Copies of this chain bind each other. A is one copy, B any other.
Amino acid sequence: MNPTSENLQHLRHTLAHLMAAAVLELYPDAKPTIGPAIDNGFYYDYEFSGTNPDGTTNKPTEKELKDIEKKMRKLLPSWKEMSGKEVSEVEAREIFKGNQYKLELISDIIAKGEKITLYTAGHFTDLCRGGHSESPAKDVPADCFKLSRIAGAYWKGDEANTQLTRIYGLAFETKAELEAYENMMKEAEKRDHRKLGKEMDIFDFDDDVGPGLPIWLPNGTAIVEELEKLAKESEFKAGYVRVKTPHIAKESMYLKSGHLPYYAESMFPPMEYEDGKYYLKAMNCPHHHKVYASRPKSYRDLPLRLAEYGTCYRHEKSGELFGLMRVRALNMNDAHTYCTEEQFADEFRAVNDMYINYFKIFGIDKYIMRFSTHDPKRLGEKFVNEPDLWKKTEDMVREVLVDSKIPFVEVANEAAFYGPKIDVQVWSAIGREFTLATNQVDFSVPKKFDLVYTDKDGTQKTPLCIHRAPLGTHERFIGFLIEHYGGNFPLWLAPVQVAIIPVGDAHMDEAKKVRDMLHSAMIRTDFDTSSNGFGKKIRNAKNMRIPYTIIIGDKDMEVKKVTLESRDHGQIGQLSVEEVVRKFEEEIKERK
């Protein structure tokens, strides 16, 4: 369940302590630094400084993880209880005197004016804010965890600092849940979008183009264009209009929007052009605000819904780039709705309906909306100082979410500066969680761009703006879909929709005719004319996960039909080409 239950959170945090205790028993010179609970378990970062007889550092490798795990299980029964107490700075410094990392953390706590607390279980005491199982021996099942891997990590995440050794553990409330998670990850590995993306010729990277800049190969572009088509149809029906804006703008645009200087480090560096600096856009909003501003607007023009599949460029650290999931070029299913306060609830509801419709189309059964609200204490500081608008819009958003029975959690103090926000989390078919899309209310930026409309009474008012991207970016969404479908794209999305395979050379001409008929009907075909044998051709089509295969042999030609096989449902039987086309057209139209 998401969010993680408090109990599971405590269990994981306790296991981080337990691992540190076990590590210290096996590596007495190790210095534990920090060890939090995370999404699927916990980790702890250590400095290992003991030396082996041969002079190398005495530190564990993947193969020693089993020993540490064993030691954890041995210590666990003796951790009858885990209790905390407050200590003075002097006491704390005495206890951690050999560990410069803990001493630095103590200084940090003192600087923030917070209290120092220690938690002890068994013989192990750690500097800690608390949040553990009260009785580990009883509360933590010995078979609910597993140490999973070792990685490097910098102290406080800063590359200028010492590199530490991070040991990760998986932990769940029961053994069954742990196993389910491990099975899911094994399946996720088989469905890894980078692996399938390569096998299925979906995308590529190139050193001369640059890291994090995906090149969509023909097969990937077919998926991209089907998604765009879906978005365009859905958006047209929902009353959006489309715009097309440049990928660059002058510095003055981003000074106006406030992206410069505050967001500068997420943007690509500027081009020094003849009339000043130009930037690649990192978001489409400012350009859309300019579309709004290009003509005077009256209340009759609202709501105005501007949609664009804009490509944005963002700086991501090279170490954080990851396949299609974290990239520097993002094709966003973006739109901005400008509306009055009165129109807001309906507009917001319509955006939610669009989400739900997409979930249905893609067979996404599990999803949740994370609704981030403001903290009234931080108005004018972390949140734009519009108490009434915050209250009004948050109430409306909440009401829409409750009304439409969408599962959601509300998180205070995490809204954007300019308004409440919703992050959409979805689970793939194998149960892995992805954050795909956001939906934000903005009552601050339209003012910066002097966006106004003339109301019925002749006064000039500032519209609200909803930023929304239900399909997120092509990059992340297609990465998600590859895993979700395991590469078995439904017919409408499949890069190649049907493979045409003649049984022998005698059937080649007929196969060519069939191929031409399907191609004329705008079906994406693969006609294997190679000298490969029939069996190999069939296997190739399977490897490419093509939804349908058409086989043409003597028996087919005799009755002027073809034999149709489905990837998902096996042999379908003999059909005329016209019947095949009709079947495909229907299946594609319905996006089944």
Contact = CB atoms under 8 A, between A and B. Distances in A.
Nearest to A267: B271
A1 interface: no
Nearest to A225: B242
B209 A291 contact: no
Contacts of A343: none
A311 interface: yes
Interface in A288-302: 290-291, 293-295, 300
B215 A245 contact: yes
Interface residues on A, range: 35 or more
A508 to B, nearest CB: 14
A318 interface: yes
Given A271-B269, A273-B269, A217 B529 contact: no
A294 B206 contact: yes
Chain B CB count within 10 A is highest, among A215, A272, A300, A331, for A215
Chain B CB count within 10 A is highest, among A207, A209, A214, for A209
Interface string A427-454: 0000000000000000000000000000
Interface string A219-253: 01110110000001100110101111111111011
Given A201-B295, A294-B217, A210 B275 contact: yes
Contact of A252 (B208, B250, B287): B208
A275 B321 CA distance: 14
A477 interface: no
A306 B217 CA distance: 9
Contacts of A214: 246
Contacts of A318: 274-275
Stoichiometry (number of copies): 2
A211 interface: yes
A201 B301 CA distance: 14
A218 interface: yes
Nearest to A251: B208
Contact of A209 (B211, B249, B272): B249
Chain B CB count within 10 A is highest, among A250, A331, A522, A530, for A250
B269 A272 contact: yes
B215 A519 contact: no
Contact of A290 (B215, B224, B306): B215
Interface in A512-569: 519-520, 522, 529-530
A387 to B, nearest CB: 31
A15 interface: no
A530 to B, nearest CB: 6
Given A275-B318, A530-B300, A215 B269 contact: no
Contacts of A485: none
A522 B242 contact: no
A480 interface: no
B313 A208 contact: no
Contacts of A246: 209-210, 213-215, 311, 329
A270 interface: yes
Contact of A204 (B209, B216, B248, B294): B294
Contacts of A311: 246-247
Interface in A254-283: 256, 268-275, 278, 280
Contacts of A245: 209, 215-216
Interface string A368-396: 00000000000000000000000000000
B272 A215 contact: no
Contacts of A278: 210, 268
A274 to B, nearest CB: 7
Contacts of A306: 218
Interface string A54-72: 0000000000000000000
Contacts of A287: 209, 215
B207 A313 contact: no
A237 B280 contact: no
A206 B250 CA distance: 10
A204 B245 CA distance: 10
A286 B207 CA distance: 13
A318 B273 CA distance: 11
Contacts of A270: 271
Contacts of A220: 244
7 contacts: A206-B290, A208-B253, A213-B248, A215-B246, A217-B295, A268-B271, A271-B271
Interface of A: 201, 204, 206-211, 213-218, 220-222, 224-225, 232-233, 236-237, 239, 241-250, 252-253, 256, 268-275, 278, 280, 286-287, 290-291, 293-295, 300, 306, 311, 313, 318, 329, 331, 519-520, 522, 529-530
Q: 9 closest pairs, A vs B, by CB?
A: A218-B241, A216-B244, A208-B253, A213-B246, A204-B294, A221-B242, A269-B271, A209-B249, A246-B329
